[in-house]
């Protein structure tokens, strides 16, 4: 009985070991689109909600996105010659806090805003799988599949070709709906120092439905 239990335990371990070895080998032999990095996952930590509208980037305060016309007048500053009275209570804190959180480095945009960005020559990044990109993508978009192992290489070639500044707008899209690949790619780019990331909320299906320019083919 003891012998049987020991041999079963050894076989359980052997099965796990063989699975690990087979996974290692198959991952080496797989194409870049089907390969995964064992460590250093490109996917950020799971989170309950997409990180939009809330985060304030570290470092220098970025300029507001150029695509969105300012909806409110700039905060009124008191004239230099006005002398504050001693009895005047200190200005309330909320306006300052509001100013700090009003700008978000990751912002969702509509189809109309995406089209305006396209017409003004803004770079587009496609966060979907490379196979989906090959089936059809926004004309001129760069393939940056967040779940594939070569996403970093693709982003390097994108940066080398387009040389986007940290405050230049970049439109990121995936399949719309509950697709969160574009949010993941935006989080990755935010960590790399890009502060004007525009997520095309409805993604490629909406773009194609609107009849906007589409291309096909391998990235």
Partner 1 sequence: MRPRLRHHFLHPKLTLVARIALGLVFIAAALPKIADPPDFAKAIWAYELFPAWSLHPLALVLPWLELLCGLALCLGIWIRAAAAWVAVMLLSFGLALSINLARHHPVDCGCFGAAAPKTEAQRLADMRWVLLRDVGLLLLAAQVLLASASANSPRLDPTAENKKS
The answer to whether 199 and 176 are in contact (CB under 8 A) is: no
Cα separation, 174 vs 140, whole angstroms: 15
Q: How many residues bind partner 1 (CB under 8 A)?
A: 40
- Kindly tell me which residue out of 106, 122, 127, 129 binds partner 1, with binding defined by CB under 8 A: 129
Q: Give the number of residues written for the chain.
A: 219
102 forms part of the interface with partner 1 (CB under 8 A): no
Near partner 1 by CB under 8 A, which window of 11-19, 55-63, 118-126, 162-170? 11-19
DSSP 145: -
Q: Which of residues 25-84 bind partner 1 (CB under 8 A)?
A: 26-27, 30, 33-39, 41, 43-48
Among 62, 47, 63, 37, which residue's Cα sits nearest to residue 183?
47
What three-state secondary structure class fits 59? coil
139 forms part of the interface with partner 1 (CB under 8 A): no
Q: Which residues contact 36 (CB under 8 A, 6 or more apart)?
A: 27, 149
Which is closer to partner 1, CB of 38 or CB of 97? 38
| Smallest distance from partner 1 to CB 47, Å | 8
| Residue carrying structure tokens 């990235």 | 219
Q: Which residues bind partner 1 (CB under 8 A)?
A: 1, 4, 8, 11-12, 14-16, 18-20, 22-24, 26-27, 30, 33-39, 41, 43-48, 129, 145, 147-149, 175, 177-178, 181
């Amino acid at each position: 009985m003891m012998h049987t239990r020991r041999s079963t335990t050894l076989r359980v371990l052997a099965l796990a070991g063989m699975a690990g070895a087979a996974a290692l080998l198959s991952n080496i032999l797989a194409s870049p689109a089907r390969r995964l990095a064992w460590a250093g996952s490109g996917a950020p930590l799971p989170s309950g909600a997409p990180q939009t509208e809330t985060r304030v980037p570290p470092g220098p305060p970025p300029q507001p996105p150029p695509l969105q016309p300012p909806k409110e007048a700039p905060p009124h500053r008191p004239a230099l010659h006005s002398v504050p009275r001693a009895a005047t209570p200190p200005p309330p804190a909320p306006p300052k806090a509001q100013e700090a959180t009003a700008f978000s480095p990751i912002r969702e945009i509509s189809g109309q805003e995406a089209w305006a960005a396209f017409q003004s020559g803004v770079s587009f990044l496609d966060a979907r799988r490379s196979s989906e990109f090959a089936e059809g993508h926004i004309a001129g978009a760069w393939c940056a599949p967040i779940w594939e192992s070569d996403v970093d290489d693709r982003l390097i070639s994108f940066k080398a070709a387009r040389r986007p500044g940290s405050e230049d707008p970049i439109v990121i899209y995936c399949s719309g709906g509950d697709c969160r690949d574009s949010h993941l790619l935006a989080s990755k780019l935010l960590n790399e120092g890009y502060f004007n990331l525009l997520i095309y909320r409805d993604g490629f299906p909406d773009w194609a439905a609107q009849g906007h320019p589409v291309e096909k083919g391998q990235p």
